[in-house]
Structure 1
Amino acid sequence: MQAQAQYSYKGLVTDAETGDPIPFASVGLKGVNSGGTTNFQGFYSFQSKVASDSLFVSMVGYTRRTKSVDKSPGMHEVDFQVKPSSADLSEVKVYSGENPAFRILRAIQANKSRNDRIQMAAYEYDSYAKMELDVDNISEQFKGKKVMQDIASSIKKFEQQAGEDGKLLIPTYITETVSKFYYLESPRRRREHILKTNIKGVGMGEGGLISQLVGGNLVTNYNFYQNFISFFGKDFASPIGEQWKQTYTYYLLDTVQVEGRTCYQIEFEPKNPADLTYTGQMWIDTTQFALTQIDATVGKAANLNFIEKVKISQELEQTETGVWLPARTRFLIDLEEISKGSAGMLLKMYISNKNFVINKPHPLPFYDRTSEVATNARDANPEYWKNARHESLSRQDLLAFSMIDSVKSVPIVRTYVEIADVVLGGHRTFKDMDVGPYISGLAINQIEGARVRLGFRTNALFDSSWIFRGHASFGTKDLIPKYSGEVNYLFSKSKWTVAGIKHSYELERVGLTPDLIGDNKLFYAFTRWGSFSGAFFRRDSEAFFSTEFIRGFRLTGSMNMRSFDPLFRFQYRLQPELGMDSPVQDHYNDTFFTFEARFAKNETFILNGNEKVTLATRRIPVLTFRYQQGLKGVLGGDFNYHRFTLKAYQTFRLGKYGRSDYTLLAGYTPSNLPAPLLFPHLGNETFMFVRSAFSTMNYFEFVSDRFASLQFNHNFEGLFFNRIPLIKKLKWRFIVSTNVLYGSQRTSNRALMQEVNQPMDSRYLDRYDFDSLDPKIPFVEVGYGIDNIFKLFRLQAFHRLSYLDHGNPDLFRLMGSINFHF
């Protein structure tokens, strides 16, 4: 009797388009009941006592491949590159009665409380992450260009590595990370402490936005026990979520051995491929009904933009408590080419976790820093990485590292990466300085004529603590230079403590200043075009200090001196009790102190050099409270006053019905002030939709000294259009909006702005009533429209439902916007 089989087979199975290993694929001998399954690295190995002349590989979502093999005894090494395709269900047998997979899905839900990691109080583990950014879909015509000749030999090596059926990829960026990941359930906290990084890339400045995405667990720590898996700001229904039966079709394929465990192998596919769902396979433990492995793909038919494919493969490991944690994860995004003949981009991430520590939480302040990079993270030598990696680099990884230096000489590759950085950050980087934002570079309006603006800011390469910003602008008509300058010092990144001073002289518009519009830089740039009504010059000096002393809780204090010099007919009474005999003034100076508290629980962010970029918040609203006190007689201030505002913002999922967001805003001032210092409500006379504005309200139409408003938006995603033949291919999304505003002005504030018999000198004839709302009648408007037209545009109609005869309003307004989203 032979001690071992005479025929041995091994090899690597990879995706022909991405070069990524394919885990969980079935490999076997044709006509012989002998085979194996690829591991998480895509390798297979098995033995057989019987020979065959053909070896096949099979995997859901890929074309079945067969290769001839020699029937002689010994070791046979055969690699496969398999091409993606729609799932082939021709071999699935469906019997009458209940689907046998349903019993297993119900058991998964019943055992969720003991298997889902969310049941643990805390956990932590050691993690290794690798991220690679490639240029793909490279045509033969492009490879023949002169600029490619310098890396021709490297390209040839990559083509050989890809295999006879593989597709050429040019790596542009690779990073390795060794980190510690910590999770606390209540209150929910996550922290990733990056110990070492190995970064090699084309056109990537250290501290740039893309180069900050070095960790893996903050963005790919997917939990399929949740009802929805979120990425790209979208929510994808989990195949083991509570809505499994309404969303997916299931096929029980077999029971197989997975790492010594007997598992059910279940295939799943969406009932509607256009919905935000997955296609793939999962393996469920037959005794504990726990998810042990899953391979899930989002295809091109899904209601996503610029995406060829998204793929998540995950292997889970049972901990000492019985709960399962992800041991290995692969995440892939294949971005389609921007135009015909151009190249696409491919992002691949691999995360390996081990040394799990369960239910040993740290003190709450330990979790305050979401992401932290050790000061010596870039100091590791090659020997360190040989021991730190959880698995050795593959042949393809080694070749990718060696090719990066060659690729740096290719202009188009560098251009692609730089465009990504500009799109994400809005600025163009020149060594230690960023120039921009480009959307504000040019404007044409009635007062300034052609306005040209040039702005800059220093980045982390200039200094990790000192930050300088500024801009200069000039109009060809008014010939008045405008400018700003700012100096910040970043004391602590862990508590994000920063202080600074700034000074500016700029032409602004009542109710449309940056402090009222907020972070919507595109809308602010748009308001600088056209008639430019309500214009005034403002000189502003500010000193501020801000700190996030508790994670998610930020305090800011500032002192400002501002002037208001209007270019329209404006006056306010200095002694309104004298009525028409009151002296008036057509300008003012405002000195004030501001205190702001912002609470954003579970907020995640990344560091873009010495800038902080917020990604998202979870569960509860973001709350902001602001108190402002005017200081009369201090540095020329004309008013004593108190001003209070409270804001709540939240975005949340409504199951399969899409995603909503709302903004609740309230303000109150007990003081008598000129209208611009009260609460001018943000109107919108442009054709550009802005969430924070009232779309059928004119500029400066209403001003309040006390108010409350609700702005609600809901995106049904593809709920309706995905179910209409032909239309669903357009990937349109239906949206609705409702805006409601209650407000009023006291009689004393209205009297303050009444004209007197003294004519005001002004070369501009426009004048604004700064009228008030009736406290018993709200301002109401509703909107509806289509999002994602040509993957870029939003078109929305708004109807004004109240104050129909106030001024000269537009009762119906059609608005559009440009939205770059997935």
Structure 2
Amino acid sequence: MFNGRLMNWRSRIFLALLILLVGVHWASAQYVIKGRVTDASNGDPVPFASVGLVGLNLGTTTNFQGEYTFHSKVLTDSLFVSFVGYKKRVKFIDKKKAVQEVDFQMEPAQKALQEVIVYSGENPAFKILRQVVKQRDLHDRNKLTAYEYDSYTKMELDVDNISEKLRNTKIMREIESSIKKFEKEAGEDGKPVIPTYISESISKFYYRESPRRKKEKIIKTNIKGVGVQDGGFISQLVGGNLIANYNFYQNYVPFFGKDFASPIGDNWKGNYKYFLGDTVNVDGHVCYQLDFDPKNPLDLVFTGQMWIDTTSFALVQIDAAIDKQANLNFIDKIKISQELEQVADGAWLPSRTRFLIDIEELTKGSAGMLLKMYISNKGFIVNKPKAVEFYDLTSEVAEDAKEPDPEYWKHARYEPLSRQDLTAFALIDSVKNLPIVRTYVEIAEIALSGYKKFNDIEVGPYLSSIAVNRLEGARFRLGFRTNSNFDKHWILRGNVGFGTKDLVPKYSIEVNYLFSKAKWTIAGLRHSYDIERVGLTPELIGDNRLFYAFTRWGAFSGAFFRRESEAFFSTEVTKGLSFTAQMNTRSFDPLFRFQYRLNPELGNASPVQDYYQESFVTLEARFARGETFIMNGNERITLATKRIPVVTFRYQRGFKGFLGGDFDYERFTLKAYQTFRVGTFGRSDYTLSMGYTPSNLPAPLLFPHLGNETLFFVRSAYSTMNYFEFVSDQFISLQYNHNFEGLLFNRIPLIKKLKWRFIASGNLLWGSQRKENRDIMKDVNNPLKSKFLDMYSFDSLNPSIPYAEVGYGIDNIFKLFRIQAFHRLSYMDHGSPKAFRLMASVNFSF
């Protein structure tokens, strides 16, 4: 009996050991497959792609780096990878290997007709999307009072889509060996790309909601690039968070001046088609997988996938792309991939963002450009806003930011560099020192900036170097400016010029001192002597330098010599609010027959004068809420797009007898400019202007309204108004422009492939002159038979009848040109009006 029991226990122990050994055997027989999935056209990782065994329901998805790893107890003979927008790939695998690495290069797929799916009732994705929109305010990071985080950014700019013709040029042959080396890193079926710039940075990003402020402090940078010279300016751009802080919880995702409808915005149902997939575990969150496609692929919308948490209905991951079908110029593809992380108070912040823009080749024999950006964030702190003045300097670079030491970066990076990144760094070093490459870079810099740089002095702008007109003959001009290499505070500018016909030297010299970049406090002195035109002076034309340069060609009517001296001081007292004070003295010496009455109350008995001198003080306040800048040496460049009204108020006070001034006067002007989205109907902008002077002055000192007799459209001018046709001492005007951004033409067969954009304009102007001002100029020039005043009247508008004109046209013709027709609707019997005018312009935009 005892022996039987003993044998029974021995049998049980043996059986247990056998089961354990079999389990160990099976565990040891488990297969491991890992690899990396990249885009064959650019080498960029493909996050969230599905990888699995053919014939079995086993697999995984790639992480944000395009990497995957999964374990399986069984293998089939092949492995597949698939993702929206790419061709499915299949590769054979070795069933005898326990551990193997399989990489995939995926080729973008042409859009095919979607399968028609008929639901018995409502699309099940709609119920999920309604909850996402309903819960949006709980998850949107803009609901936080403030947030900040540490950030690592890697940015790369490549040349891609290299044609055979271009590869046979001299510059390409010079770097042929380097290109071949990099081609091997692109994958067995990848396309060659040439990196020209790569950078990485460690930064700290800060955001405050009210008042809305943001700031990025660059702590360390590592920059290598062909033609990169100004490390200070480039260092501000490499942070990335100022330009790639995309938020899909907003109705529109803006970049490059365009607004792309979010797939979880208010109009989600009108813009997209949705397909509900399986639930997926994403970093511990069980998520719905939703595919989304545009209803009209030519609209400014995305295609891709997103993952929504099944419990909170928060956006956990998104992969959104825009292909070349969209109504965009010069773009092959835009792609945004983003992972979000939940922080305190329920909001979700971007933990990792990958941005790619593939710019197409401009001509058949050229090449394209590829911009890739990767941002990884950690250390989130929320609802602890800094003092408002902390955000004054939007982008700040630490004094010791430049850190090329490889040992530092080995530990500072959040993830190690890929093999491709390492090759890119090496290739840039070999390319940037080639003489032919440096020559091409210099030519590109001159074309973009208009200046030729000589270390600390830049010569230009070349746009204004030559003109031909009736008064000066051939006009030649040479200008210069200093940059931050010359001095970080002192700024010098100047130019000299002369005409071959009048032989009168013209010149300008300016000295500025920059006290503070944080408050942008600057003071300066300027003196100039040059020829100008009534109503077409720089202060009236504004920043349109191309139009100003063009006005110096041709007949040059209304010309006068102006000698001017100016002292100014400007400061930004708080973010978005700046004040400027100026003191000027100007002369007006006309080159046409011009006179005004000194005592208009005496009528024809009044003495007259054909020139004048004015001395005045100007006080200006400018409010631009939310406007952000980055510094380019001793200059600053705005990053804002004026989506909130920019308001400028100006007061001028003239003094008679002071520095030879001939008039006491006051002038008040107010101007507001804004661009805004009109839902799905496109984007509008308007300029609202008002002016008033209670003083009695000659017509050129009132408000000459800007006419346009050229064939070129100018936004600030009245297209059917002649030069100097109307002048007011009080006025209000509204200039409105709307771009439908393909809304109409996108839906017309055949035409929609041209990517035209319908545009419309309308200008209204109410103005008048008091009798006292009209009497100053009344009949005084008639006896002189002035040809100028026969053509240009300085007339007054009827205060009860507005000047009105409307326009319409086509934008984006050959991706570059705009044609507009304008109709004059009032003052049809005034002089020789242009009731209809057809105008053209060059309009570069994406």
TM-score, normalised to structure 2's length? 0.94
Aligned partner of 1:440: which letter?
S
Aligned to 1:54: 78
1:510 paired residue among 534, 537, 549: 534
1:136 paired residue among 147, 157, 160: 160
Asked if 1:729 corresponds to 2:753, the answer is yes
| Cα offsets for 1:410-438 (capped at 9, x unmatched) | 56655665566445534333332333323
Which residues in structure 2 correspond to 1:490-639 (within 5 Å)?
490-617=514-641, 619-639=643-663
Aligned partner of 2:418: which letter?
S
Worse-matched range after superposition: 480-489 or 377-386: 377-386
Aligned to 2:452: 428
Which residues in structure 2 correspond to 1:315-334 (within 5 Å)?
315-334=339-358
Aligned to 1:176: 200
Aligned partner of 1:370: which letter?
T
Aligned to 1:258: 282
1:371 paired residue among 395, 401, 424: 395
Asked if 1:473 corresponds to 2:473, the answer is no
Aligned to 1:692: 716
Aligned partner of 1:605: which letter?
F
Change (3 A) 1:744 1:108: same
**Are the equivalent residues in 2 in contact too, given 1:567–1:762 (CA < 8 A)?**
no
Shift of 1:606: 2.2
Counterparts of 1:637 and 1:282 in 2: how far apart (Å)?
68
Which residues in structure 2 correspond to 1:419-458 (within 5 Å)?
421-422=445-446, 424-458=448-482
| Cα offsets for 1:447-479 (capped at 9, x unmatched) | 112222222212222222221112222222222
Shift of 1:3: 3.2
Aligned to 1:192: 216
Aligned to 1:678: 702
Aligned to 1:343: 367
Shift of 1:701: 0.5
Asked if 1:786 corresponds to 2:810, the answer is yes
Change (3 A) 1:264 1:393: same
Aligned partner of 1:685: which letter?
E
**Are the equivalent residues in 2 in contact too, given 1:596–1:624 (CA < 8 A)?**
yes
1:17 paired residue among 19, 33, 41: 41
Counterparts of 2:232 and 2:328 in 1: how far apart (Å)?
26
Change (3 A) 1:411 1:684: farther
Aligned partner of 2:59: which letter?
G
Provide the alpha-carbon RMSD of the alignment.
2.0
Secondary structure in 2 matching 1:607: strand
| Cα offsets for 1:595-626 (capped at 9, x unmatched) | 11000000122222221112324553101000
Change (3 A) 1:334 1:411: farther
TM-score, normalised to structure 1's length? 0.97
**Are the equivalent residues in 2 in contact too, given 1:568–1:767 (CA < 8 A)?**
no
Shift of 1:146: 4.7
Asked if 1:83 corresponds to 2:107, the answer is yes
Change (3 A) 1:86 1:96: farther
Secondary structure in 1 matching 2:126: helix
Counterparts of 1:355 and 1:92 in 2: how far apart (Å)?
46
Counterparts of 2:406 and 2:820 in 1: how far apart (Å)?
56
Counterparts of 1:537 and 1:767 in 2: how far apart (Å)?
20
Aligned partner of 1:533: which letter?
S
Aligned to 1:817: 841
1:124 paired residue among 103, 123, 148: 148
Q: How many residues end up aligned between the 2 structures?
A: 822
Counterparts of 1:52 and 1:756 in 2: how far apart (Å)?
99
Counterparts of 1:416 and 1:5 in 2: how far apart (Å)?
59
Counterparts of 2:616 and 2:250 in 1: how far apart (Å)?
48
Which residues in structure 2 correspond to 1:790-809 (within 5 Å)?
790-809=814-833
Counterparts of 1:413 and 1:344 in 2: how far apart (Å)?
17
**Are the equivalent residues in 2 in contact too, given 1:456–1:471 (CA < 8 A)?**
yes
Asked if 1:717 corresponds to 2:741, the answer is yes
Worse-matched range after superposition: 764-773 or 366-375: 764-773
| Cα offsets for 1:705-758 (capped at 9, x unmatched) | 111110011111110000011101111111111100111111111111124499
Change (3 A) 1:114 1:514: same
Change (3 A) 1:105 1:89: farther
Which residues in structure 2 correspond to 1:104-253 (within 5 Å)?
104-206=128-230, 212-253=236-277
Aligned partner of 1:783: which letter?
G
Worse-matched range after superposition: 537-546 or 435-444: 435-444
**Are the equivalent residues in 2 in contact too, given 1:683–1:696 (CA < 8 A)?**
yes
Counterparts of 1:424 and 1:238 in 2: how far apart (Å)?
33
Shift of 1:89: 7.6
Counterparts of 1:420 and 1:60 in 2: how far apart (Å)?
37
| Cα offsets for 1:296-352 (capped at 9, x unmatched) | 111000000011111100011111222110000011111111111111111111111
**Are the equivalent residues in 2 in contact too, given 1:194–1:372 (CA < 8 A)?**
yes
Counterparts of 1:685 and 1:450 in 2: how far apart (Å)?
22
**Are the equivalent residues in 2 in contact too, given 1:544–1:556 (CA < 8 A)?**
yes
Counterparts of 1:637 and 1:5 in 2: how far apart (Å)?
98
| Cα offsets for 1:262-305 (capped at 9, x unmatched) | 11111111010100011111111111111111111110000000
Change (3 A) 1:117 1:763: closer
**Are the equivalent residues in 1 in contact too, given 2:596–2:780 (CA < 8 A)?**
no
Counterparts of 1:764 and 1:245 in 2: how far apart (Å)?
61
Secondary structure in 2 matching 1:377: coil
Counterparts of 1:536 and 1:97 in 2: how far apart (Å)?
75
Counterparts of 2:582 and 2:386 in 1: how far apart (Å)?
35
Aligned partner of 2:635: which letter?
E
**Are the equivalent residues in 2 in contact too, given 1:5–1:47 (CA < 8 A)?**
no
If each structure's helix is expressed as a fraction of its own residues, which one has the higher value?
Answer: 2
**Are the equivalent residues in 1 in contact too, given 2:257–2:641 (CA < 8 A)?**
no
Change (3 A) 1:323 1:764: closer
Secondary structure in 2 matching 1:311: strand
Change (3 A) 1:419 1:27: farther
Counterparts of 1:317 and 1:420 in 2: how far apart (Å)?
41
Aligned partner of 1:741: which letter?
L
Aligned to 2:17: none
Shift of 1:181: 0.7
Asked if 1:272 corresponds to 2:296, the answer is yes
Counterparts of 2:546 and 2:781 in 1: how far apart (Å)?
42
Change (3 A) 1:6 1:776: same
Aligned partner of 1:49: which letter?
K
Aligned to 2:3: none
Secondary structure in 1 matching 2:175: helix
Asked if 1:745 corresponds to 2:746, the answer is no
Secondary structure in 2 matching 1:220: coil
Counterparts of 2:333 and 2:589 in 1: how far apart (Å)?
55
Structure 1, unpaired ranges of 5+: none
Aligned to 2:672: 648
Shift of 1:402: 1.2
2:336 paired residue among 285, 307, 312: 312
Change (3 A) 1:412 1:776: farther
Aligned partner of 1:305: which letter?
N
Counterparts of 2:231 and 2:768 in 1: how far apart (Å)?
48
Which residues in structure 2 correspond to 1:353-372 (within 5 Å)?
353-372=377-396
Shift of 1:553: 0.6
**Are the equivalent residues in 2 in contact too, given 1:123–1:361 (CA < 8 A)?**
yes
Counterparts of 1:207 and 1:759 in 2: how far apart (Å)?
64
